[in-house]
A and B are shown apart, each in its own frame.
Chain A
Amino acid sequence: MEGSKILRTAKLINDNPNAQKRVPYHYVSHKTAAEENLPGRFELFILDEGQQKIEVREETKVPNTTVFTFNKEDHTLGNLISQRLLKYDFITFSAYKVPHPLFATFELRVTTDGSITPKDAVVRCCKDVIQDLSKVSLSFQGEWLNQKIIEEGQRDAEVRDQGNY
């Protein structure tokens, strides 16, 4: 009963003239139709035409203060740089804000004690974080290899034990 039903449906499909008539090479992208009116999500990380990555604005009302506007960046850099800066003695103020959640941008405001410009402070901070990350990376790679060898050894031992049974 079930079998004959399937056969009949299959025959219908084979005989269906429309099944053969479809336009070949119909393109389906992963993000058109339903999202047509939305801005592409790549706008979160690809700079607009003529847009600069970082806009630097000196704060004239407060000494040694600069506001950096980072375009197409988010909390990943904002929090990282602003919090890291606070650890230096020459920083008197450092914070960031995302003015609007729909725009991929953040503002970083930095004040120093005058011994270094805010821009140089940010550059130094970035260099230091890069150094730190390199240390983590090296340590991670070494540890990964060690642990992987250990785990593979354990697995081999288990296989051997099972074989001895």
Chain B
Amino acid sequence: MDIDDFGPKEPTCRMLEANDKRAYFIVRDWNLETANSLRRVMLAEVPTLAIDTVEVIDNTSVLADEFIAHRLGLTPLIAEDVDKLVDFRDCDCEDSRCDNCSVTLRLKAKCTGNDVMKVYARDLVIESMPPSDKLGQPVITDADGLGSCIVKLRKGQAIDMRCIAKKGIAKEHAKWAPSAAIGFEYDPANKLHHLDLWYEGDDPKKEWPADEVRIDLDGGPEKTDEPFNYDAVPERFFFDVETVGGLSPDAIVNNGIKVLQQKLASVIKELTGVDEANAGLDGAQSPAMDGGFGNDGYGNDGGYTTPGYGGGNAYAGGTTPYGATPYGGAPGW
């Protein structure tokens, strides 16, 4: 039996590196548009937690209030379980800061000694009652357990700030970016000739050192004796996701996939809901939606509602993936 009898090939992952900082993997038998959209979503649309408003109670340090507020905003906070927070724009509370939509941290320090005092991220203390223990704790990865330095104080100087951390996405501000960098590449040997290499000498190969390891993983170098295949498309993608620390690398990928799926689900909902709207329903609870994924021919592998996706994943929360409005339930997402 020919392998093609099994229908189109399904995308599969191969992990090359997996640790607290990095997820380095290949996806085979995929397509460029979906791979690139996943990359874009992981960069800009995976929700995390960051300090958004700072209440300055005291600041006699040499840095201006705004300066410190900016530094605080960029301080990475643990964003595990951030899905348990409501989007502050949708929260009913006054001045958008309650335990449902924010985490409050206090930074309070005064230098009394003769030495310069450094105030670190570890000095941020959670004042509110976040939905989970870890959520909102400063990310600390150095051996000394300090975190990043926020201000230095000299004798007599003090700062006292109440920081309100909120859920957000990097599309609004880079402080919410879950990943420090995402490596993305296909066809490292340039077999598809998508790249036209610049060269100044005689031979571009001399000026562009080949990544032998990746080329091996991608099916070896170009075969010059074969005719060029004009129909070839990229189907193997290298992803290298490095975390800032707020989310584990696998959580960034899983949440990225989830956000993209919810985006697409909202399109389906919007388009199929239009008909429903004509029939007097406003599309919020469209029956076509519930049947959509589960029953009409997609039922076999479960897909979107598969336990591996919905049940096993702590980030899926209690909502049905379908009906859940992505990103905290902003209408129309």
B304 touches A134 (CB 8 A): yes
Q: Does B236 contact A (CB under 8 A)?
A: no
A97 to chain B, nearest CB (A): 16
A24 touches B11 (CB 8 A): no
In the complex formed, the residue of B with least CB distance to A18 is B60
Q: Does A98 contact B (CB under 8 A)?
A: no
Taken together as a complex, chains A and B put the C-alpha atoms of A3 and B115 apart, in Å, by 9
B303 touches A3 (CB 8 A): no
Q: Does A157 contact B (CB under 8 A)?
A: no
B13 touches A76 (CB 8 A): no
B54 touches A80 (CB 8 A): no
In the complex, chain A residues whose CB is within 8 Å of the CB of B272: 123
In the complex, chain A residues whose CB is within 8 Å of the CB of B331: 47
A153 to chain B, nearest CB (A): 12
Taken together as a complex, chains A and B put the C-alpha atoms of A22 and B17 apart, in Å, by 52
Pick from A24, A46, A80, A132 the residue with the most CB of B within 10 Å.
Answer: A80
Given contacts A28-B69, A29-B53, A41-B172, contact A140 B253 (CB under 8 A): yes
B65 touches A28 (CB 8 A): yes
Q: Does A19 contact B (CB under 8 A)?
A: yes
Interface residues in A83-137 by Cβ distance below 8 A to B read 83-84, 87, 119, 122-123, 126-127, 129-137
Q: Does B235 contact A (CB under 8 A)?
A: no
Which one of B26-34, B121-129, B187-195, B203-211 is at the interface?
Answer: B26-34
B309 touches A127 (CB 8 A): no
Q: Does B66 contact A (CB under 8 A)?
A: yes
In the complex, chain A residues whose CB is within 8 Å of the CB of B140: none
From the candidates B52, B157, B175, B308, name the one contacting A137 in the complex (CB within 8 A).
B308
B56 touches A143 (CB 8 A): no
Given contacts A3-B114, A6-B155, contact A77 B37 (CB under 8 A): yes
Total interface residues in chain A, CB < 8 Å: 69
B34 touches A41 (CB 8 A): no
B186 to chain A, nearest CB (A): 14
In the complex, chain A residues whose CB is within 8 Å of the CB of B264: 77, 126-127, 129-130
A79 touches B37 (CB 8 A): yes
In the complex formed, the residue of B with least CB distance to A120 is B271
From the candidates B56, B271, B292, B306, name the one contacting A138 in the complex (CB within 8 A).
B306
In the complex, chain B residues whose CB is within 8 Å of the CB of A19: 60
Interface residues in A17-41 by Cβ distance below 8 A to B read 19, 22, 24-31, 33, 40-41
Extra 19 A-B pairs, beta carbons < 8 Å, given A129-B34, A143-B14, A144-B18: A10-B114, A14-B156, A25-B56, A25-B57, A28-B53, A28-B65, A30-B51, A53-B333, A76-B40, A80-B33, A80-B34, A119-B271, A130-B261, A130-B303, A134-B301, A134-B302, A135-B11, A137-B308, A140-B253
Residues on B lying within 8 angstroms of A by beta carbon are 10-19, 23, 25, 27, 30-34, 36-38, 40-41, 44-45, 51-60, 65-66, 69-70, 73, 89, 114, 154-157, 169, 171-173, 175, 250, 253-254, 257-258, 260-261, 263-268, 270-272, 274, 292-293, 298, 301-304, 306, 308-309, 312-313, 327, 330-333
Could you show 8 A-B contacts with beta carbons less than 8 Å apart?
A6-B155, A84-B31, A126-B265, A131-B303, A134-B261, A137-B258, A138-B306, A144-B23
Residues on A lying within 8 angstroms of B by beta carbon are 3, 6-7, 9-11, 13-14, 16, 19, 22, 24-31, 33, 40-42, 44-47, 51-54, 56, 70, 72-73, 75-77, 79-81, 83-84, 87, 119, 122-123, 126-127, 129-144, 146-148, 151
